[in-house]
Amino acid sequence: MIEVTNLSKHFGSKLAVDNLSFTVKKGDVLGFLGPNGAGKSTTMRMVTGFLPPSSGDAKICGISIVNDPAAAKHKIGYLPESAPLYNDMTVIGFLKFCAEIRGLSGSSKKDAVEKAIETCFLSSVAHQAIDTLSKGYRHRTCLAQALLHDPEVLILDEPTDGLDPNQKFEVRQLIKRLGHDKAILFSTHILEEVEASCTRAVIVDQGKIVADGTPAELLEQSGTGSLTDLFRTVTTRDTAA
């Protein structure tokens, strides 16, 4: 479903992503872990076609994001970091607007919006203006727009960032359920999310993959049974001398 091959990105002299390759199959929830500045968001922006790669490619359901970006994007539901919202719209108005952009109309649009509202637990605020929502509900609204067209692939950048513990639990459980019949790639720096949601995880540092495996395999690699210890071992710390 997602096949990333030798993906690299330069910003001037800085190499932000260094020859990354990985795959995410249907039914997989791949956690994309790493410290701040490791290249997670840049990788996701290239995989979704938001940024052009300096070299390499990503295929979405067999379609090259470099050679046929429009067709590849049609397969993707994308929740970017700090996703934009129109504050003067209601939740349902915003979702209807996004559904129309996705080419949905009539009963298909109505059904898609209703399903997204139900899936993301937005019924109680559906007719509320977005600028009156809590951060948790705003985040769920952003997630709902990514689900409208029932994409085969979900790419979620820090989907639980800034949420309270209850909201994080709900989003993690939702990601786990959605992962049963989709391919999901989501970035995080919260290690507990690996065990809570992921079937597999990779850790990136300075644009390279430094660890890859199932949650159980990563715990074994740590030598101590601690993901935190593994993370600290394989990544470069800002506090290092």
Residue 136's pLDDT band, with cuts at 50, 70 and 90, is confident
Radius of gyration, alpha carbons of the chain:
18
pLDDT at 8 exceeding the cut of 70: yes
Q: Residue 199, Cβ neighbours under 10 Å: how many?
A: 17
Query: What's residue 65's pLDDT?
Result: 97
Calpha distance 50→82 (Å, rounded): 14
Q: What is the pLDDT of residues 210-230, one digit of tens each?
A: 999 999 999 999 889 899 999
pLDDT at 237 exceeding the cut of 80: no
Grouping H, G, I as helix, E, B as strand and the rest as coil, residue 102 is coil
Q: What is the pTM of this model?
A: 0.90
**Domains in the chain with CATH codes:** 1-75+153-162+178-236 (3.40.50.300), 79-150 (no CATH)
For the chain, helix, strand, coil in percent to 5 are 40, 25, 35
Q: What is the pLDDT of residues 53-83, one digit of tens each?
A: 999 999 999 999 999 999 999 999 999 877 7
For residue 185, give the nearest of 170, 174, 195, 200 by alpha carbon: 200
Query: What's residue 238's pLDDT?
Result: 58
